[in-house]
Each structure stands twice: as structure tokens, then as C-alpha cells.
Structure 1
Amino acid sequence: MAVGTGDMVLTALLGSCVGIGIIWRRKKRCALAHCLLAEAPAGDSGIDVRYVSNAVPALLRGLGARPEDYAELEVVAAGGASLFDRVQSPLRVGERNIVAFERAMQSYGLRVVHQLTGGSLGSRITLHCATLVYETKRLQSS
């Protein structure tokens, strides 16, 4: 997870992981988390941002956003691909990550302005902090 300002560029390469980006135009800040799994295990301290359930509140804290600021935030997401045949990998990690992301957006009342999730190919998400522009892209299969 990273919070950026100025000339920083935040990026993540994703497979079944989900990249969650938040842009706060008024404050000229952006933040990005690369989440490996959906839900933190019971008893988790809440600081391990590899989990979607922990990453969203951590992103909000990192940006310094309070509930009254949430309407100003723009969320972008990518990833959550199913890279393996379901017969070989019945875990459906990508699907679970997408569901956890969508649940978190609803729970916090955050507005998703762009989402490139699912599919069978990896993806990349990039946030340009200087211009507050985001990019998402599917990766080519080899």
C-alpha cells in the first residue's frame, strides 16, 4: 500500500489479486493497495493490507479521509482474474477478491468510477499523482 502526491506514480501488476486505487482530487492525493486475499483471518490486527477487508480502511486512513470526505473520493480497481481452470483451482481467489472489494465499497459508501476486474488475464493499475489520472490495462497472454 502506498499514498502518493506530487510526481509519484503508483502501480501494481495483478493476477487474481485486486488493486484498489483512491483518488482525492481536492487534496491532490492518491493511494493504492495491492490485495492478495479477500478477508483477513479472525483475530487479525487489521494492519495487514494484503487483505481487501483491511486495505480499504487503511487506504482511507492513509489519505486522511473521514466519513464526511468519502463523497469526494474516486475509486478505481483492477485485477481479480481467474488465471487457472476452475477444475484445477477451485479456490476462486480472484472472484472472492472482487466480492470483498464490492462489499467494502458498499459498506463505506465509496463511489467506484472505473473497474477492470475479472476475466482470465492479469492486469495493471496505475495512478499518476501529479495529474490525478488513472490507467487500467489487461495484460497480453504469452
Structure 2
Amino acid sequence: MKDSITVGLSEFKICKSPQKIVTIGLGSCVGVIIYDKSTKTCGMAHVMMPDSTKFPQENNKLKFADICLSRMIESLLESGGHKTELIAKIAGGACMFGESQDNPLINIGAQNVEAVRTFLENNSIPIVAEDVGGDYGRTLEFDPSNGELKIRTAMGEQSII
């Protein structure tokens, strides 16, 4: 068994302790971890866009928050997670182009964060920690054995939420 599972752009994966789960290079994308601490089972998604209804012809539906997170929750529950025990941590959603920071129509990072927050709220999954916004990239590593989300920024800073 590998020590860690890597989640690529526009996908999700499920992980159980003792493995860890990682996603690299979040810019305007949002990393979403949904976690059942009683079973130490989690899912991580690398969400690229907020809303699938605006792009009906797109083939990769997992790039969108609404579809990716719905499917991830289904897989998480099939893997032993309990709906009433789910909590979330989110990170990313940076504004990678300074001029768009004040314009929500251009700031895709802010749109992604809002779509993820709305989805989680509508599904009664509380966000217990987050590190969103800014103008820098992030890499995430989640450890379901203890619920820690390690965040490394493009500037070399590290934090745990």
C-alpha cells in the first residue's frame, strides 16, 4: 500500500488511515476534504470551476464543485463514512491575477470558494477549518489518522489546520 494517494486536477479520491491524501498546485482551485473522524475515512477533491450548469457541453464534469462533491460524498459513504459524522476543511481559491481580485466576475478563486461553501452548507456538512483566498498557490496533505491538514504555500510557508 502506498503511503499517500495523490489527487489530480479536476478529480477526487477516497482515503482511509493510515494512508494520507495529497493534492499539489492549488491556485484558484479549491481543495476540499470531507472527513468522518469516527471511521478515519476521507475524500479529497481538487475543484477547478464553481458550477456545471454554466458549461453543459464540458466533458469532464468532475472539474465542477457541484458534481465533483456530490460524487465524492457518494463514494465516501460507500467506503464506510457516515453522513451525520461528516465535516470539511477547505483550502485554496486564490486570486492568481491581482487585477481581478476586486471583480468577482473575474476572480474564479472567490467563485470556487463560494460554490464549495454553499454546497457544503446545503448538504449539512460543517466547515471546521479553512485557508482560502490570497494570491499564492498551495499544496495540501491530509492525514485521516488525526484529521490534520498540512498546507504548504508557494512561498515555502507551512501551516496545519
CA shift in 2, pair 1:101/1:87, >3 Å: closer
Higher RCO (CA < 8 A, seq sep 6+): 1
Query: 2:109 aligned with 1:97, yes or no?
Result: no
SS state of the match for residue 86, structure 1?
A: helix
Match status 1:106 vs 2:121: yes
Tell me the TM-score normalised to structure 2 length: 0.74
The yes-or-no answer on 1:52 pairing with 2:65 is: yes
Q: Distance in 1 between matches of 2:57 and 2:155?
A: 36
Aligned residues: 138
| Runs of 5+ consecutive residues of structure 2 not aligned to the other structure | 1-11, 157-161
Q: Structure 1: state its 5+ residue gaps.
A: none
Aligned to 1:5: 16
Q: Kindly provide the amino acid, as one letter, of the partner of residue 36 in structure 2.
A: W
1:118 aligns with 2:129: no
Aligned-pair distance for 1:33?
0.3
Instruction: Give yes or no for contact 2:100–2:107 (8 Å, CA) kept in 1.
Output: no
Aligned positions of 1:4-43 closer than 5 A: 4-13=15-24, 14-41=26-53, 43=56
TM-score, normalised to structure 1, is 0.83
